[in-house]
Amino acid sequence: MTRRLVCLLMLILLVIATLQIGFVYRALLKEADEVFDAQLKQAAQALVLTAPTQSTALVSPEAGKAEELDLLIRERGSSGELHSTVDGVFPEQVPLGFADLHTSLGEIRVFTARRADRDVSVGQRLAARRELAREIAFSALWPLLFLAVAGLLLLYLIVRSVLAPVTELERQIGRRDPGSLTPIVDPGLPLEMSPLLVATNGLLERLSKALEHQRRFLADAAHELRTPIAAIGLQNTLVARADSDQERQLALEAQGAGIRRASALVDQLMRLSRLETADAPLQVAELDLMSEILGLVDLHRPESEAKHISIDLTGTAGSVHADAGLLSAVIGNLMGNAVRHCPPGSKVVIEAAVRDASIVVTVDDNGPGIPEGDLPAMLRPFHRSAASGTPGSGLGLAIAQAACERAGWTLNLSRSPLGGLRASVQLGTGNA
């Protein structure tokens, strides 16, 4: 990346420098040309004012010889007589003003001035003029060329030092263990790039949390399955060792119950895992809250009637916009939890009410409750209250919590005024 950037910048700089040098060179040549021309014109106009035949003597005392840049002068008198500093160079007729002439000395530039039939032509060799102009131009351009080269070098160094942290970052990421989700160390990135690193590290952290959660869930799930599977194993041995048909029948029934328990646990695990990793969209519909809850009460009736637990439903809430599956996962699990953990003859009261423009469903019981300190932990998967004497999967409240999170509701556990546990779900706003 650094190399590409440097190459590109250098190319651009090089093109600009070349163009600039070219333009300056041409401009300098043109300027020099104009200066020389002005010099010729001035000389010719000055000489034409002097006395006849003096002009050649004035400019070049050594007639016949000419240095490279010396002015070549010819005077033509009114009667046609010719005087010249160089012999045989100028043609017979020279036009007035500027003219480029091919002569024995090569190309020359000439200016001819006329005054009262007397012509004075002043010339200069073009090759020598150009040579001088080039020299001037080059001496003016040298510093520019040097600056361009120094600029390129400086540019390279700056780009490299600015991008060094990026290169370091690149190396660091390249060296990483593919399974590693530890944050990337900031190698001193430029201010503009830090947000990218912060965002990337944030993503890594979330990923690592999710992965850790999955790992723990898997370990917990495997652990939780040990007990039901151990039971099935023992029950199976008992079936194999039954001494009578009656004994075998009883053992088989026990084994059936063991298998049902294990599959119920697997079922709950699946449900929880699906809730926690759900990507299917919610299917929100207008539901009649009271009839939904009544349906769930009916579902729990066999269990509650077997334990002589009464379930009362009160409330005023009308319809609610919710996903029916999530609603029954939350309310059903809270209800099931209350029925399971309450001793026979207990009371469960469900209330659906509108509070502060949102619908709140509260499940109260007068069972043993949960010690205040244990309450927050109860929402985690596989956590059972140490005070609980009733075996459970430890997933009911976790499923309710996961469903709440999915739906954007809030689940709260507290002490119930009835003496047991109060679980309240805030369903968000609804149409009361």
189-213: burial string, b at 16+ Cβ within 10 Å, e else: beeeeeeebeeebeeeeeeeeeeee
Q: How far is the CB of 214 from other proteins (least distance, A)?
A: 19
In terms of CB distance, is 51 or 386 closer to other proteins? 386
Residue from the set 230, 264, 270, 285 that interacts with other proteins by CB under 8 A: 230
Nearest C-alpha neighbor of 13 from the set 159, 142, 137: 159
- Based on the shown chain and the rule CB under 8 A, indicate whether residue 114 belongs to the binding site for other proteins: no
Nearest C-alpha neighbor of 381 from the set 277, 273, 280, 274: 273
The DSSP output letter for 187 is -
In terms of CB distance, is 137 or 232 closer to other proteins? 232
Residue from the set 229, 266, 278, 432 that interacts with other proteins by CB under 8 A: 229
In terms of CB distance, is 44 or 251 closer to other proteins? 251
Cα distance between residue 313 and residue 290, in whole Å: 8
- Based on the shown chain and the rule CB under 8 A, indicate whether residue 410 belongs to the binding site for other proteins: no
**CA distances for 356 relative to 204, 331, 429, angstroms:** 39, 20, 9
CB 232 within 8 A of CB 396: no
Cα distance between residue 373 and residue 386, in whole Å: 11
Helical residues (DSSP H) of 81-193, grouped into ranges:
126-175
Q: How far is the CB of 338 from other proteins (least distance, A)?
A: 18
Residues 27-56 that bind other proteins (CB under 8 A): none
Residue 123 host element (H or E): strand 118-125
- Based on the shown chain and the rule CB under 8 A, indicate whether residue 103 belongs to the binding site for other proteins: no
Q: How far is the CB of 210 from other proteins (least distance, A)?
A: 23
Q: How far is the CB of 227 from other proteins (least distance, A)?
A: 5
In terms of CB distance, is 229 or 299 closer to other proteins? 229
| CA dihedral angle for residue 377, residue 378, residue 382, residue 384, rounded to 10 degrees | 110
- Based on the shown chain and the rule CB under 8 A, indicate whether residue 14 belongs to the binding site for other proteins: no
CB 85 within 8 A of CB 105: no
- Based on the shown chain and the rule CB under 8 A, indicate whether residue 189 belongs to the binding site for other proteins: no
Residues 335-394 that bind other proteins (CB under 8 A): 386-389, 391
Cα distance between residue 387 and residue 315, in whole Å: 32
Q: How far is the CB of 370 from other proteins (least distance, A)?
A: 13
Residues 231-290 that bind other proteins (CB under 8 A): 231-235, 237-238, 241, 243, 251, 254, 257-258, 261
What token pair was written down for 380? 């985690």
CB 228 within 8 A of CB 251: no
In terms of CB distance, is 195 or 233 closer to other proteins? 233
Cα radius of gyration (the chain): 52
Binding segment toward other proteins, per CB under 8 A, in 51-59, 134-142, 170-178, 226-234: 226-234
Q: How far is the CB of 177 from other proteins (least distance, A)?
A: 25
Cα distance between residue 108 and residue 123, in whole Å: 6
In terms of CB distance, is 39 or 227 closer to other proteins? 227
Contacts to other proteins by CB under 8 A:
223, 226-235, 237-238, 241, 243, 251, 254, 257-258, 261, 386-389, 391
